[in-house]
Protein backbone atom coordinates (compact mmCIF):
# COMPACT_ATOMS: atom_id res chain seq x y z
CA UNK A 1 0.00 0.00 0.00
CA UNK A 2 1.51 3.33 -1.09
CA UNK A 3 0.90 6.20 1.31
CA UNK A 4 0.63 9.77 0.15
CA UNK A 5 3.08 12.29 1.64
CA UNK A 6 0.08 13.94 3.33
CA UNK A 7 -0.62 10.72 5.23
CA UNK A 8 3.02 10.08 6.10
CA UNK A 9 3.63 13.45 7.75
CA UNK A 10 0.12 14.24 8.95
CA UNK A 11 -0.39 17.15 6.62
CA UNK A 12 -3.70 18.84 7.12
CA UNK A 13 -3.67 20.46 3.70
CA UNK A 14 -3.23 18.95 0.26
CA UNK A 15 -0.44 19.94 -2.11
CA UNK A 16 -2.95 21.96 -4.12
CA UNK A 17 -4.21 23.83 -1.05
CA UNK A 18 -0.68 24.67 0.10
CA UNK A 19 0.33 25.91 -3.37
CA UNK A 20 -2.85 27.97 -3.58
CA UNK A 21 -2.01 29.62 -0.23
CA UNK A 22 1.56 30.30 -1.37
CA UNK A 23 0.37 31.86 -4.64
CA UNK A 24 -2.15 34.07 -2.81
CA UNK A 25 0.48 35.19 -0.28
CA UNK A 26 3.03 36.06 -2.97
CA UNK A 27 0.43 37.94 -5.04
CA UNK A 28 -0.48 40.02 -1.99
CA UNK A 29 3.18 40.78 -1.18
CA UNK A 30 3.93 41.82 -4.76
CA UNK A 31 0.64 43.66 -5.30
CA UNK A 32 -0.33 41.61 -8.34
CA UNK A 33 -3.19 39.29 -9.30
CA UNK A 34 -3.00 35.64 -8.22
CA UNK A 35 -3.35 34.82 -11.93
CA UNK A 36 0.10 36.35 -12.49
CA UNK A 37 1.77 33.91 -10.07
CA UNK A 38 3.00 30.67 -11.66
CA UNK A 39 4.54 27.50 -10.30
CA UNK A 40 8.13 26.94 -11.34
CA UNK A 41 8.52 23.74 -9.34
CA UNK A 42 6.90 21.86 -6.48
CA UNK A 43 8.83 18.98 -4.98
CA UNK A 44 8.87 16.83 -1.88
CA UNK A 45 11.75 17.73 0.43
CA UNK A 46 13.27 16.87 3.80
CA UNK A 47 14.21 19.92 5.86
CA UNK A 48 16.83 20.00 8.64
CA UNK A 49 14.46 21.15 11.39
CA UNK A 50 10.83 21.79 12.32
CA UNK A 51 11.13 25.37 11.01
CA UNK A 52 11.85 23.86 7.58
CA UNK A 53 15.28 25.48 7.49
CA UNK A 54 13.52 28.87 7.44
CA UNK A 55 13.24 30.10 11.04
CA UNK A 56 11.79 33.53 11.68
CA UNK A 57 13.77 35.96 13.84
CA UNK A 58 13.97 34.77 17.45
CA UNK A 59 12.29 31.42 16.76
CA UNK A 60 13.60 28.25 18.36
CA UNK A 61 12.96 25.06 16.43
CA UNK A 62 13.23 21.35 17.15
CA UNK A 63 16.22 19.80 15.41
CA UNK A 64 14.38 17.00 13.68
CA UNK A 65 14.28 16.15 9.99
CA UNK A 66 10.88 17.31 8.74
CA UNK A 67 9.29 16.20 5.46
CA UNK A 68 7.29 18.58 3.34
CA UNK A 69 7.31 20.50 0.07
CA UNK A 70 9.61 23.06 -1.52
CA UNK A 71 7.50 25.37 -3.71
CA UNK A 72 9.15 27.69 -6.23
CA UNK A 73 6.99 30.42 -7.74
CA UNK A 74 7.43 33.25 -10.22
CA UNK A 75 5.55 36.40 -11.14
CA UNK A 76 6.08 37.27 -14.80
CA UNK A 77 9.81 37.52 -15.39
CA UNK A 78 10.49 37.73 -11.63
CA UNK A 79 11.30 34.27 -10.31
CA UNK A 80 13.10 32.71 -7.43
CA UNK A 81 10.42 32.94 -4.76
CA UNK A 82 10.63 29.89 -2.50
CA UNK A 83 8.04 28.65 -0.05
CA UNK A 84 8.45 25.67 2.25
CA UNK A 85 5.54 23.74 3.71
CA UNK A 86 4.87 20.89 6.11
CA UNK A 87 1.71 20.03 7.99
CA UNK A 88 -0.37 23.15 8.03
CA UNK A 89 2.62 25.51 8.21
CA UNK A 90 3.76 27.54 5.24
CA UNK A 91 6.94 29.62 5.19
CA UNK A 92 8.34 32.09 2.69
CA UNK A 93 12.08 31.51 2.50
CA UNK A 94 14.57 34.39 2.28
CA UNK A 95 12.17 37.01 0.87
CA UNK A 96 14.07 40.31 0.88
CA UNK A 97 16.57 38.68 3.22
CA UNK A 98 13.99 37.50 5.77
CA UNK A 99 12.04 34.29 6.40
CA UNK A 100 8.28 34.64 6.96
CA UNK A 101 5.72 32.37 8.59
CA UNK A 102 2.56 32.64 6.49
CA UNK A 103 -0.61 32.62 8.55
CA UNK A 104 -3.61 30.62 7.53
CA UNK A 105 -6.40 32.71 6.04
CA UNK A 106 -9.42 33.15 8.30
How far apart are the C-alpha atoms of 17 and 13, rounded to whole Å? Answer: 6
How far apart are the C-alpha atoms of 71 and 38, rounded to whole Å? Answer: 11
Closest CA to 92 of 25, 45, 32, 36: 25
Measured between alpha carbons, how far is residue 5 from residues 12, 40, 46, 105 in Å? 11, 20, 11, 23
pLDDT in tens, 30-69: 999 999 999 999 999 999 999 999 999 999 989 999 999 9
* Predicted TM-score (pTM) of this structure: 0.85
HSE-CB at 13 with a 13 A cutoff on CA atoms is 18
Range of the domain at 67: 5-102
Supply the pLDDT for residue 9: 43
**Structural domain count, the chain:** 1
20 C-beta neighbours (distance < 10 Å), count: 14
Amino acid sequence: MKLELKELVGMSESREEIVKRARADLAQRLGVSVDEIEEEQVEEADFPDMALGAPVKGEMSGQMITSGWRIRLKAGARGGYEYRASGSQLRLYNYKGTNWLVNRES
